C-alpha cells in the first residue's frame, strides 16, 4: 500500500452529509484530506478547486449514488483522475477508491478499480476502506471521534436557571455517544449544551403569549388555559410557534442528536438506554397509551423515577417534542461525526419522545416522528436548549 494517504472526496449535492461524515471519520484515524464542499452538480464543469484537489491527493474517493452517476461532472472528475494517474511523473497518483453510498450503476471508467459498498453497512465498509484503501489496520467497528478543543465541562455548572422564564436547565457534557440503533448506530461527538429539565408548560407559554401578544393555542378557550392543566406541557403549538418562543427566551430547540443524547446516554457506564430510565418499558415511569390516562399530565409527575441518566425528565411519553432538524429517513446513516444539525432541506420537522396517545414503542429514545412545521397537534410540545458558554462566562 502506498505510504502517502492524502484523500480527496467528491460527491453529489444530495450526498453532502455522507461526504462530511466520511471525511470526519477518515481524519479521526489520522488521515489527511478534504471533501468537495460545493459538491458536483449535473452539467457543471470541473472547477479549479476540484482540479487542484485531484492533483494534490494521493487517493481520490468519488461517492457514487443514483444521482451522482448521472452527473456529467462525476464522469469528468473520474476521467481527470485517471488522466493524472497515468502521467509518468505522478507514479499512479491519485489512486481511485470508489465508495457506493446507494446502490447504482457503476461508471464504466471505474470497472475493475477498488470500491466499497457502504449502503446499510457503514461501520464494516469503513473498516474495509481504511484497511484496503489506505493500509490502516482497524480493529474497531466504530471509529473514535477526535475531540475538538472545548471548555472543560467539569468547570460548568451542572444546572442553570434561565433568566427569562426561570426554568431549570441541565448540563449535557461534551463528548461522544451512540446515536441511532441497529445498523444505523454510530458514534457522534456533541459539544456541551444545556436543556430544559421539563417541557415548557402552559403557564410558562402564557407568559410568552402575554408578553408578545401572541396567538394562544387553539384549545385555550378565549385565551384561558384549561382548568387544572396549568403545569401540563403546552400543546397545539407548531414548530413555527416554538421558534418564536425560543427567540423570545433567547434559546433554541435541541437538535435531534442533542435530544437523543439527553434522553438515552448513560455517561457513567458509556451505554445507551432504550428508554430514559433503562432498557425495559415501565408503565409507572411515563405517560403513554399503556397508562390509560388519555390526556397529558403535569410535568415531573414521573420524576425522578422516569428521568434520564442526566436527570432530564419527561423524555418518554406525555408529549412528542419538536426538534430543530428537518426530517430524513436516511439521515442517521449519513450523519456527520460531530454536532450533526440535520438535513439542510426537507418537507417535515422532527419530533421525539412519544406521547400520551402513542404506545410504548414510540416512547423509545430512538423513535422518531415527523410533521409539517406550520401545523400544531394536541400531542406535541417542546423544551428549550442552549449551547454551553465558555468557561467563566456563566453568571
**Overall size of the chain counted in residues:** 395
Q: Is the peptide bond before 119 cis (omega within 30 degrees of 0)?
A: no
Question: Among residues 298, 319, 312, which one has the least CA distance to residue 369?
Answer: 319
CA distance 132 to 345: 35
Q: Name the grid cell of 325.
A: 432538524
Q: Does domain 7-133 have CATH number 3.40.50.10140?
A: yes
Q: Is the peptide bond before 94 cis (omega within 30 degrees of 0)?
A: yes
Extents of the domains making up the chain: 7-133, 153-387
Q: Does domain 153-387 have CATH number 3.90.1580.10?
A: yes
CA distance 122 to 22: 9
CA distance 168 to 129: 46
Q: Does 153-387 match 7-133 at the fold level? A: no
Alpha helices in 58-191 (DSSP H): 66-69, 72-85, 122-128
* pLDDT tens by residue, the chain, 395 residues: 334 579 999 888 778 878 888 888 888 778 888 887 544 443 444 466 788 888 889 999 999 988 888 877 787 888 888 888 888 888 888 989 999 998 888 787 777 677 899 887 887 788 888 888 888 865 543 444 444 444 445 578 989 988 788 899 999 999 999 998 887 788 899 999 999 999 999 999 999 999 999 999 999 999 999 999 999 999 999 999 999 999 999 999 999 999 999 999 999 888 999 999 999 999 999 999 999 999 999 999 999 999 999 999 999 999 999 999 999 988 877 778 889 999 989 999 999 999 999 999 999 999 999 999 999 999 999 999 999 975 443 33
Cα radius of gyration (the chain):
24
Q: Which residues pair with 370 in a beta bridge?
A: 350
CA distance 375 to 227: 24
Amino acid at each position: 500500500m502506498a505510504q502517502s494517504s492524502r484523500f480527496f472526496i467528491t460527491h453529489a449535492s444530495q450526498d453532502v452529509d455522507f461526504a462530511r461524515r466520511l471525511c470526519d471519520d477518515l481524519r479521526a484515524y489520522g488521515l489527511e484530506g478534504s471533501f468537495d464542499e460545493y459538491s458536483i452538480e449535473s452539467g457543471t464543469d470541473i472547477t479549479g478547486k476540484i482540479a487542484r484537489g485531484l492533483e494534490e491527493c494521493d487517493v481520490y474517493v468519488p461517492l457514487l449514488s443514483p444521482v451522482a452517476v448521472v452527473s456529467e461532472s462525476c464522469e469528468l472528475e473520474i476521467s481527470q483522475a485517471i488522466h493524472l494517474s497515468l502521467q509518468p511523473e505522478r507514479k499512479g497518483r491519485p489512486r481511485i477508491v470508489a465508495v457506493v453510498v446507494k446502490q447504482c450503476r457503476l461508471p464504466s471508467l471505474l470497472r475493475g478499480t477498488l470500491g466499497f459498498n457502504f449502503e446499510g453497512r457503514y461501520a464494516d465498509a469503513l473498516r474495509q476502506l481504511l484497511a484496503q484503501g489506505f493500509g490502516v489496520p482497524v480493529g474497531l467497528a466504530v471509529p473514535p471521534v477526535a475531540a475538538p478543543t472545548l471548555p472543560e465541562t467539569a468547570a460548568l455548572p451542572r444546572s442553570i436557571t434561565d433568566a427569562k422564564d426561570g426554568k431549570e436547565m441541565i448540563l449535557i457534557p461534551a463528548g461522544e455517544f451512540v446515536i441511532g440503533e441497529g445498523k444505523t448506530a454510530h458514534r457522534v461527538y456533541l459539544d456541551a449544551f444545556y436543556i430544559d429539565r421539563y417541557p415548557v408548560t402552559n403557564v410558562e407559554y402564557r407568559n410568552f403569549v402575554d408578553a408578545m401578544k401572541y396567538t394562544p393555542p387553539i384549545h385555550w378557550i378565549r385565551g384561558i388555559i384549561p382548568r387544572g392543566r396549568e403545569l401540563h406541557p403546552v400543546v397545539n403549538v407548531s414548530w413555527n410557534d416554538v421558534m418564536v418562543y425560543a427567540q423570545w427566551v433567547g434559546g433554541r430547540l435541541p437538535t435531534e442528536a442533542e435530544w437523543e443524547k439527553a434522553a438515552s446516554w448513560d455517561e457513567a457506564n458509556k451505554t445507551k438506554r432504550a428508554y430514559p430510565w433503562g432498557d425495559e418499558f415501565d408503565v409507572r415511569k411515563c405517560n403513554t397509551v399503556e397508562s390509560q390516562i388519555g390526556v397529558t399530565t403535569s410535568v415531573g409527575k414521573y420524576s425522578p423515577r422516569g428521568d434520564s441518566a442526566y436527570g432530564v425528565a419527561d423524555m418518554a411519553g406525555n408529549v412528542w417534542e419538536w426538534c430543530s432538524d428537518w426530517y430524513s429517513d436516511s439521515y442517521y446513516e449519513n450523519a456527520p461525526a460531530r454536532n450533526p444539525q440535520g438535513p439542510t432541506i426537507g418537507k417535515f420537522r422532527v419530533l421525539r419522545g412519544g406521547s400520551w396517545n402513542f404506545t410504548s414503542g414510540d416512547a423509545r429514545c430512538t423513535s422518531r416522528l415527523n410533521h409539517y412545521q406550520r401545523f400544531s397537534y394536541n400531542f406535541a410540545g417542546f423544551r428549550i436548549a442552549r449551547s454551553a458558554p465558555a468557561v467563566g462566562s456563566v453568571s
